Amino acid sequence: MAELTYRDAVARGIAQEMARDEDVVFLGEDVAKAGGVFKATVGLLEQFGPLRVRDTPISEQAILGAAMGAAMTGLKPIAEIMFADFLAVCYDYIANEYPKSRYMSNGQVKCPLVVRVGSGGGARFGAQHSQSVENWCMQYPGIKVVAPSSPVDVIGLLAASVRDPDPVIFVEHKSLYPVKGEVPDGEIVDTLGTAKILRSGSDCTLIALGLMVPRALAAADKLQSEHGISCEVVDVRSLVPLDAQTILGSVARTHRAFTVEENPRVLGWGAEIVSVIADESFYDLDGPVVRITTPHIPLPASDVLEDLALPNVARITETVRRAMSN
């Protein structure tokens, strides 16, 4: 057992899969010699060489186009788009090319690839480098969307993503890169489409993703100690496929639900989960499902305003307390 940071877990996860399968290749801007702009890929060039770990030009279209061509001809590429916001530059691949290739070719052309992106706010990068984009990607049939919140989940879910036959958008939260966690020795492989219950509770369910997971856990501790409210915390981990069974099972036990979302409120991933709960567990609910989100605004450049916009422990705690008192 070792303690690793989230960023070191990224490098270990990539190295695990590259060592296991020589068809796995890695490409992106500054991922080789520089070890990644977030220092999440340090050492991979030295370990696997320049044929398998490649720096690319500053062209998101070229990165994703090369990854698709490599995948269609038998390789298993991992491509990095440095900031998740830059997916907008090469979005045709995400919306039209990756998810439809196997379907339109009747299975003759497969696209087994992973696109890693640094997502989310709280790191003072401003409106064009701080967006939480999971909900951008989850609307297209054929694309899988994963967002780990801990170092061990980074490794296990990355392994599952690389080994999956479909394209996967692998969302790494920039503000989690320095966070440390215990990671077992040896190979780690997880399963896509599985949520985790990180804290058991009886009064309500907090459903969170990415950076919002540790904030939901901290709020749950505060709600228990200060208000006597017992919160169950579910880490969604995988939006597509979605582990609706775990979420609905939790709601059936607690009878109240709250989503904790970093993305702007309109069409956020939590809206889909609320829809699933309304369809499948309406009569288990003792009150309306409450969404705790970022307002529908670009993230401010001001440190104070950015912190105010993102859901924090205080806002989560107060929203849950107020709703549970009604």
List residues with catalytic annotation.
Answer: 129
Helices (H) and strands (E) in the chain, counts: 12, 14
Q: Which residues pair with 118 in a beta bridge?
A: 83, 172
Picking from 203, 196, 188, the residue whose alpha carbon sits closest to that of residue 234 is 196
- Residue given tokens 């288990």 in the structure block: 284
CA–CA dist 273, 275 (Å, integer): 5
Alpha carbon 18 to chain centroid distance?
21
Picking from 215, 206, 134, the residue whose alpha carbon sits closest to that of residue 179 is 215
Residue 280 one-letter amino acid: E
CA–CA dist 252, 282 (Å, integer): 9
Task: Classify residue 118 by its DSSP letter.
Answer: E
CA–CA dist 324, 227 (Å, integer): 10
Distances (CA, A) of 194 to 142, 172, 216, 245: 17, 17, 18, 9
Q: By the 8 A CB rule, do 35 and 87 touch?
A: no
